[in-house]
Amino acid sequence: MPGKVVILEPPAETLAVRLYLPLLAGMALTFRKFVANVLSRKARPTIEYPEERRGYSDRFRGRHILKTREDGTLKCVACYMCATACPADCIHIEAGEHPNLAYEKYPTVFEIDLLRCVMCGFCVDACPKDAIWMTRDYELSYFSRKDAVYGIPELTEKPSDTAPDGPGYGYRPYYGESPARKAGQFEPSGLAVLPMTLARNAAINRMPPPPPKPPAPAPAPAKPA
């Protein structure tokens, strides 16, 4: 037998509800915020862009740059590690023989499609030569897809990237200067490893070894003929 259906009647409307007086509470809150924002600049939660800019972390993942050696050549050796690690398949590299035999290969073409890039930083982590970093530059706008494909001229690090009014360095595998570089000693990267990386490696070393495999059963004795 079906249960009894209970019909709930709406509450009776009061005079204040019929006159929309509860809306005045919301309007009063809006008016208070408006007056506070007009009289006090500190009370404004809005950043007046572009006059004001939000400060981002040193690990912000923005526009990519290619690092150079002291002689001005690119550190990249066209090993394709970044293109292989890229989950968006947005990096295109073509390799060529470097005129300096000490450097072996170099990229004749290095392009990143920033419309496909997901800013994950995997290319930075995969690079064995510390050749690709990310900046805190987030002001990226284009009129066509062709403009969003950055090549070597656009990706090569420029003085404006590290200028006081520039975006500055963002996500990269090393932060700060290493003691070896301060002492004038040669070091391939020249920088200190992230504490996060050290902690991760220590955690891997503390992992228990895998359990030993059980011994194989002995073969059954042969039956006499």
Single pTM value for the model: 0.62
Q: Is 113 helix (H, G, I), strand (E, B) or coil?
A: strand
Residue 53: per-residue pLDDT: 81
Q: Say how many C-beta atoms besides its own lie within 10 A of residue 218's C-beta.
A: 6
Alpha-carbon span 140 to 143, nearest angstrom:
11
pLDDT along the chain (225 residues), means of 10: 72 82 88 85 78 84 94 92 95 92 89 95 92 92 93 94 87 63 42 45 52 72 67
Alpha-carbon span 75 to 103, nearest angstrom:
9
Determine phi and psi for 37, rounding to 5 degrees.
-70, -30
Q: Are strands 191-193 and 64-66 parallel, antiparallel or unpaired?
A: unpaired
Residue 176: per-residue pLDDT: 54
Contact 44, 37 (CB under 8 A): yes
Tokens of 141: 């706008």
